[in-house]
Amino acid sequence: MSTFIVFILILGLLVLVHELGHFLVAKKNGVISDEFGFGFPPRVVGTYKDKKGRRKWVFGNKEINNEMKDEDETVYSFNLIPLGGFVKIRGEDGEDKKDKKSFANQSAWVRFKILFAGVLMNFLLGIVLFSLAFQIGLPESIGDDYQAKDAKVQIAQVVSNSPADEMGIEMGDVVFSIEGTEGITEIKTVKAFQEAIQSNKGQEVTINVKRNNSEKLLSLDTVIREEAPEEQGLLGVQLVRTTFAKYGLLESIWLAIKTSFSMILAILFFLVDLIVRIFSSQPVTADVAGPVGIAVMTGKMTQLGLAYVLQFVALLSINLGVINLLPFPALDGGRIFFLLIEKIKGSPLNQKVEGIANMIGFLLLIALMIFVTVKDFSNFGIMDKIKSIL
């Protein structure tokens, strides 16, 4: 239950910050937002100032019209579904073009700033959260030759349906030792782990790990594969040797900026590679997680500690920013792309055409979300658990 609450809070924060970016930049440029909502409808309570400047409160979904408030006043609503928030910017769908305070009446540059603001806020949130994580302290990747008293070998990734996955190894586990045909090998470097696995091909081994900062050893058994599938290794894990590091304020901010830009580039390269593979009929090897996968990862991060949660949310925020920049209808990037076409052709696009494109894009995104969610249910064994109950 606690994992679900943390997941809802994280999702809400990411969406709310994104919408807040649109709202603040619209307000800065004199564009009216008719409503800014915390959470999604139905509305629980709303507040606004009437024509005399008095604060008014409305409970439930009662309509708030311009006879009750100044037409340029924003209604701030608190809604039942706690999944972030939303902003209703006047003229965002092309209406009210004659209203000087409407989005549709603004220059292409102002509209671009409003659209891009949500993405920028997600990037800034990522930088802030990375900075906080660096100040609290995080494991830092080091080479096998680096001398550090607290150095340890950790599991960075577990391949689905691999021996490691089946034996129950989890991301973040610290490998302490491996028991095989040649006795017990203490693991202090990545190379020592790889050599121990290699020398026990086809044999049963016991891998002793420590999990979630516990001092208690957890012993896991498996049989090592004799042949390794491409890019998987014999056991099916990725390893990293780490040491604990924490930084001061200024250094943390600089590291956060560098890390955020590195993440943006990495995500872009991943998306380009994914698109190339899809259109060239190559196998898509990358795992893509949806809401269920993110919820599972949230549970794992909360077990590892606050710094891990902050780092995880920072990465999600940057991911959300990059995805929203894609030139796809219904996304901010798609609307920015339409603005670019408008500037090139010298006149606005047909509003009906843009509306249809955004609707199709929205439906495709919903279909993709459903597909990825079903995939998550399968990957994390949730479908099997549902079948066992039925």
Supply the DSSP string of 95-117, one letter for each residue: --TT-TTSGGGS-HHHHHHHHHH
Query: What pLDDT is stored for residue 257 in this prediction?
Result: 96
pLDDT under 70 in the chain at which residues?
1, 278-297, 299-300, 368-390
Calculate ∠ Cα 172-175-177, nearest 5°.
Answer: 170
In this structure, how many other beta carbons lie within 10 angstroms of the beta carbon of residue 306?
13
Helix axes 306-325, 249-279, angle to 10 degrees: 50
Yes or no: say if 306 and 358 are a contact pair by the CB < 8 Å rule: no
Domains within the chain, CATH numbers bracketed: 140-245 (2.30.42.10)
Query: What pLDDT is stored for residue 382 in this prediction?
Result: 45
d(CA 267, CA 122): 14
Query: What pLDDT is stored for residue 293 in this prediction?
Result: 60
d(CA 8, CA 126): 18
Query: What pLDDT is stored for residue 387 in this prediction?
Result: 42
Residue 202 region, left (φ>0) first, then alpha (ψ -120 to 50), else beta? Answer: left
What would the pLDDT profile of 293-348 be if each residue is shown by its tens digit?
666 667 667 777 788 889 888 988 998 899 889 888 888 998 999 889 888 888 77
List all residues 6 or more positions away from 313 whose beta carbon is below 8 Å from its beta carbon. 10, 13, 14, 129
Instruction: Tell me the CB-side half-sphere exposure of residue 162, using CA atoms within 13 A.
Output: 22
Question: Token pair of 88, please?
Answer: 């209703």
Yes or no: say if 245 and 137 are a contact pair by the CB < 8 Å rule: yes
Reduced to 3 states (helix: H, G, I; strand: E, B; else coil), residue 176 is strand
Query: What pLDDT is stored for residue 202 in this prediction?
Result: 86
Supply the DSSP string of 131-157, one letter for each residue: HHHHHH-EEEEE-TT---TT-EEEEEE
Yes or no: say if 108 and 343 are a contact pair by the CB < 8 Å rule: yes
Query: What pLDDT is stored for residue 224 in this prediction?
Result: 87
d(CA 49, CA 57): 9
Query: What pLDDT is stored for residue 94 in this prediction?
Result: 77
| Nearest Cα to Cα of residue 31 among 132, 133, 125, 103 | 103
Query: What pLDDT is stored for residue 36 in this prediction?
Result: 93
